[in-house]
């Protein structure tokens, strides 16, 4: 049985950051152009961007977590660039804590070809409530992509969309292998050490905070509260919840360590592109 473990998802100059984005998401964009073969990516995305980012303080004292800078640009801007590279044309950004920072930043075009709308909650709605409100605002006539705006990834959304279409599910989750935060020791029953493995992938999956959702699924989301505690378990019991294992890079930025890892990954992408 598949076990899903829920996972809540340094400036180097703006020009450098934009170059990073153009290269990091090139592969994802190429996969997206194969959408007719893989899957049709929904044109509208709902992006959660209201997190307080307590573990990233003091960087979040004056901005929500997705607006913390990653190589000179907000995490959210990298995230939206990835969505656009995968064929998304409209992003409804769902804001809460210090939402004006998000609104002011995206008052001008930041990602070419992407229509960005900010929807501020008047009171805390929870993630499920925010997504439901965002869907009602968007008035999309079909499936939508839904994401946590603090995720940095190059995953091809066409793969996730294909899994959604193939299974006919009401909702499809992107999952990521859980990686041990520690090195593993292989211990023999005879008292001898057999070997070592540094931070291996474990036989469990985590929710990667990227979904394809149908109107049927979103109609069941609460007006206030979280979708992962009630709606997703119910869909799973009914056989209406599907998944796809992440085949690309993925990092949820929760801590300063996570931020550093994401920054290094983007630097590596630029170095590789120049070679």
Q: Is residue 55 part of a domain?
A: yes
Mean pLDDT for 186-202 is 93
pLDDT computed for residue 7 by the predictor: 34
Note whether residue 195 is domain-resident: no
Kindly report, residue by residue over 24-50, the tens digit of the pLDDT. Answer: 444 444 444 344 346 799 999 999 999
For 260, residues 6+ apart whose C-beta sits below 8 A from its C-beta are 10
Q: Is the pLDDT of residue 90 over 90?
A: yes
Indicate if 199 belongs to the active site. Answer: yes
Domain count, the chain: 1
- Residue numbers of the domain that contains 269: 4-176+205-274
- Would you state the structure tokens that stand for residue 7, as one six-digit string? 């996972």
Long-range contacts (CB closer than 8 Å, 24 or more residues apart) made by 32-36: 32/85, 32/86, 32/87, 32/156, 32/157, 32/158, 33/87, 34/158, 35/87, 35/158, 35/161
Confidence of residue 2 (pLDDT cuts 50, 70, 90): very low
Average pLDDT, the chain: 87
- Closest by CA position to 86, among listed 203, 248, 217, 196: 248
Report the distance separating Cα 14 and Cα 92, nearest Å.
24
Examine residue 193 and state whether it is found in any structural domain, yes or no.
no
230 is a domain residue: yes
| Cβ atoms 145, 211 nearer than 8 A | yes
Question: What integer pLDDT is reported at residue 38 of this predicted model?
Answer: 65
**Alpha carbon distance 82, 249 (integer Å):** 12
Tell me the whole-structure pTM to 2 decimals: 0.84
198 domain residue, yes or no: no
Q: Does residue 270 carry a pLDDT above 70?
A: yes
Contact 121, 188 (CB under 8 A): no
CA distance 135 to 45: 9
Task: Report yes or no on 189 lying in a domain.
Answer: no
Q: Give the chain's radius of gyration (CA, Å).
A: 19
Q: How confident is the model at residue 212 (pLDDT cuts 50, 70, 90)?
A: very high
Given a contact cutoff of 8 angstroms between Cβ atoms, the answer to whether 88 and 145 are in contact is yes
CATH number of domain containing 13 = 3.90.550.10
The answer as to whether 184 is a domain residue is no
Given a cut of 70, is residue 22 above it in pLDDT?
Answer: no
Who's near 64: CB < 8 A, 6+ residues apart?
Answer: 49, 50, 51, 52, 53, 95, 96, 97, 98, 99, 101, 102
Task: Indicate which residue of 65, 133, 176, 199 is catalytic.
Answer: 199
Q: Give 3's pLDDT tier (boundaries 50, 70, 90).
A: very low
In-domain check, residue 191: no
Residue 18: its pLDDT value, please? 44
In the predicted model, what is the mean pLDDT of residues 174-182? 93
């Amino acid at each position: 049985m598949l076990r899903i473990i829920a996972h809540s998802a340094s400036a180097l100059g703006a020009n450098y950051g934009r170059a990073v984005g153009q290269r990091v998401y090139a592969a994802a964009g190429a996969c997206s152009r194969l959408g007719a073969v893989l899957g049709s990516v929904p044109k509208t995305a709902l992006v959660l961007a209201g997190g307080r980012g307590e573990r990233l303080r003091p960087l979040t004292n004056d901005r929500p977590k997705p607006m913390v800078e990653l190589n000179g640009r907000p995490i959210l801007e990298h995230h939206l660039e990835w969505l656009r590279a995968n064929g998304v044309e409209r992003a409804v950004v769902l804001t809460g804590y210090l939402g004006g920072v998000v609104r002011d930043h995206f008052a001008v075009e930041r990602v070419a070809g992407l229509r960005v709308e900010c929807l501020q909650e008047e009171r805390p709605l929870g993630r499920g409530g925010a997504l439901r409100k965002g869907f009602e605002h968007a008035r999309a006539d079909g499936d939508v992509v839904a994401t946590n705006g603090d995720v940095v990834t190059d995953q091809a959304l066409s793969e996730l969309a294909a899994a959604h279409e193939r299974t006919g599910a009401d909702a499809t989750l992107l999952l990521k292998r859980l990686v041990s935060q520690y090195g593993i020791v292989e211990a023999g029953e005879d008292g001898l050490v057999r070997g070592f493995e540094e931070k291996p992938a474990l036989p469990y999956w985590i929710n990667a905070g990227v979904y394809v959702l149908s109107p049927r699924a979103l109609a069941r989301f609460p007006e206030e509260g979280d979708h992962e505690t009630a709606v997703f378990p119910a869909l799973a019991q009914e056989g209406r919840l599907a998944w796809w294992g992440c085949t690309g890079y993925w990092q949820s930025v929760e801590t300063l360590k996570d931020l550093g890892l994401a920054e290094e990954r983007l630097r590596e992408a630029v170095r590789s592109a120049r070679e």
